[in-house]
Structure 1
Amino acid sequence: MNLVSIRIITANIERLVPFYEQITGVQAIQYTPDFAELKTSTATLAIGSTKTLQFFGGENIAQPAENRSVIIEFIVDDVEKEFERLRDFISSYIVQKPTTMPWGNKSLLFRDPDGNLINFFTPVTRESIEKFGSE
């Protein structure tokens, strides 16, 4: 079994898709006005409007902008460079500037416009670098 995708349900897909394109540098594939995907080499971030919930049984299946338990994580080559690149764009969404965590990653935490928590991280200790196969 492999995890291939995480899907965010949003009430404002027109705002969220460009936000993720900007922070990841990945061009979204917009299949319909209500569904897009940003594909990376390891997984896909899908973004669906609330209208897509009808296919799963109705709008009570998921609530947009209500997540307080999941962190969307992206491994990046240099979290400090990403912070400098995005500083102005994410300034109102920053939760924590780049900080080295006890488990060996330097992490930048911020939220997307719907309030979902995002972690950009770079392994910095020997153990963390070995875990992720980074150099």
Structure 2
Amino acid sequence: MTTIKNSGQGFSSDRIRRAVASLMLFEAQSLAVISGLHLSGVIAGGAKHYNPAAAGIAEAIIGVVLIAGAVLAIRSPARGRTAAVVATGFAIVGFLVGFGFTLSGGQPADVAYHATVLPLLVVTLSLSLRKTKARGRSAHAHA
């Protein structure tokens, strides 16, 4: 059963809320993996200005922010939407900054990772931004 909220603050439905939280957790898991690969040196950079350790730290921070946003989305349907939008927006900005460094000095695996997860983050954000639909309201209700 899908519950549509009348408040403009919450998710458009419980189904969307669960989908957004699931996507955020999946994205955070992928960041944990890639962060570990960077911090362990498995994925190293090719150019001087590319720092795999810094990339790993940034990815870990983005992952923690996504987890926090997902937890709030699950626990607080009304305020969770705002948390999901902010956390996913933060992740997108971080990915764009990281993608810039990656394109100029990262490994092909880094480029592929950013090129794959960035669109997924955009989908997550767009789902989070879906407007709440009012139920049972009519344009002529005030007549």
- In the superposition, the TM-score normalised over structure 2's length comes to 0.32
Point out the structure with the larger strand share.
1
Point out the structure with the larger helix share.
2
Structure with the larger RCO, 1 or 2 (CA within 8 Å, 6+ apart): 2
- In the superposition, the TM-score normalised over structure 1's length comes to 0.34
